[in-house]
Amino acid sequence: MNSPVLVINCGSSSIKYALIDSDPEAPRLAGLAERLGSSEARLKGKNSAGESFTQALPNADHAEALNSILKRLEGRVPGAVGHRIVHGGEHFTRAALIDENVIAAIESTATLAPLHNPANLAGVAATQKVFPDLPQVAVFDTAFHQTLPPRAYRYALPDALYTKHGIRRYGFHGTSHAYVSQRAGELSHRGAGGWLTAHLGNGCSTSAVWNNQSQDTSMGLTPLEGLVMGTRSGDVDPGLHAHLHRQLGWSVDEIDSVLNQQSGLLGLSGLTNDMREVEDQALNGHPGAKLALEVFCYRIAKSLAALSCALPKLDGVVFTGGIGENSPIVRREVIALLPHFGFSLDKAANEGTTRGKEGRLNSTDHNGPEVWVIPTDEEGRIAMETRHCVESPE
Ligand code: ADP
């Protein structure tokens, strides 16, 4: 398929899009329709000359926003649409050509991702209306982690909770972990082998990848488990929920909202969920910001050390996501907490990388595991998987 792929990431009030050519170097048309359904709805993006635009779309719904996006594609006609779908449960181990059965399977998984899957499906329905003749492909955040062995995906809970209710660890950010681990294998002379990946954005997760297959990951049933994130707590004592309910009288919804929206960097610093600001304030000596940075880095290091148990050997660690790609401080602190792994971070390389650039951060004569920064490309990976699925469906 030579035509470009339109990648769609549909939220409840937003649509992120990118038109991606078969030549990965070709410029992309990309943008974001946001605040859909409100009087402030708008479409922002870049044209092929790299110029930014903003267009008001008052009260537009998803289908209207898609029609406006279509007009921004500069006459280029996509050959397929790739949809990011958050949760594929155990149904999907790879991308799937969307038909009625696939939609029913995604619907049946909606209890596991009540905020995301219905919004993703609304995007599929709206796209089908606008492009009735194009093949549509579902690419799942969870699919890459379907290679986890039971020892990694099972919680130590009564069996029926897994067999009857699907309660297990699924993992997320799969397209990102898949992309950067594969890329590390291509860039490093070590090839595909044992890579630890740290996707550090607003959401954060780690993964252990052996021969391009995920062996373990830090997120679980939901994207709340694991690392400290912008506003999410990550791991807490599972007894916390009962404690907060019994001692403070909090409802399930209140507990859920505190752990998802008021915790993480924001909760610890008392200031912000934005790592740039946390770093600035920590450098100014703000105690909350210093603590937030310390806990954030310690928990990443602890998670990477734990995940190393999933790998027969360790070839290196890859940092990605807004923080992983741009924060020399976080990379330095995390690596400093893992002295027994034999990493060796080159100070100049760590401080010299700039956003958008791939780079190895250890000296070339170093024999221990490597350290890489690899900018993630979730849209590119979704386009690649979509293309593959359309060309060779199962
Ligand atoms: P999302 O998960 O929403 O895609 P990103 O991957 O863009 O988010 O990551 C956002 C995070 O990256 C924010 O915490 C932001 O502060 C952080 N970030 C971006 N640039 C820098 C930088 N130069 N230094 C430190 N953190 C940065």
Q: Are 223 and 201 in contact (CB under 8 A)?
A: no
68 lines ligand 1 (CB under 6 A): no
Give the per-residue pLDDT at 110: 86
Q: Which atom of ligand 1 is nearest to the CA of 279?
A: 25
Distance 109 CA to ligand 1 centre (A): 30
Q: Angle, to 10 degrees, between the axis of helix 62-71 and the axis of helix 117-130? A: 50
Q: Is 378 annotated as a binding residue?
A: yes
pLDDT(354) > 80: no
The number of beta carbons lying within 10 Å of the beta carbon of residue 252 is 10
Write out the catalytic residue numbers: 141
264 lines ligand 1 (CB under 6 A): no
Token representation of residue 111: 């209890």
Give the per-residue pLDDT at 25: 80
323 lines ligand 1 (CB under 6 A): yes
> 255-298, pLDDT tens digit by residue?
999 999 999 999 999 999 999 999 999 999 999 999 999 999 99
Q: Which residues contact 96 (CB under 8 A, 6 or more apart)?
A: 102, 137, 138, 389
DSSP state of 339: G
Residue ranges of domains in the chain: 5-140, 190-378
Residues 5-140: name the CATH superfamily.
Answer: ATPase, nucleotide binding domain (3.30.420.40)
Distance 323 CA to ligand 1 centre (A): 5
pLDDT(327) > 90: yes
14 lines ligand 1 (CB under 6 A): no
Rounded CA separation 187/360 (Å): 9
Fold agreement between 5-140 and 190-378: yes
In DSSP notation, 221-252 reads SSTTSSS--SS---S--TTHHHHHHHHH---H
Q: Residue 195, SS3?
A: strand
Rounded CA separation 358/360 (Å): 7
Q: Are 355 and 321 in contact (CB under 8 A)?
A: no
Q: Is the dihedral of CA 354, 359, 361, 363 positive or negative?
A: negative
pLDDT-derived band at 31 (thresholds 50, 70, 90) equals very high
| Topology of the domain covering 190-378 | Nucleotidyltransferase; domain 5 (3.30.420)
> 144-183, pLDDT tens digit by residue?
999 999 999 999 999 999 999 999 999 999 999 999 999 9
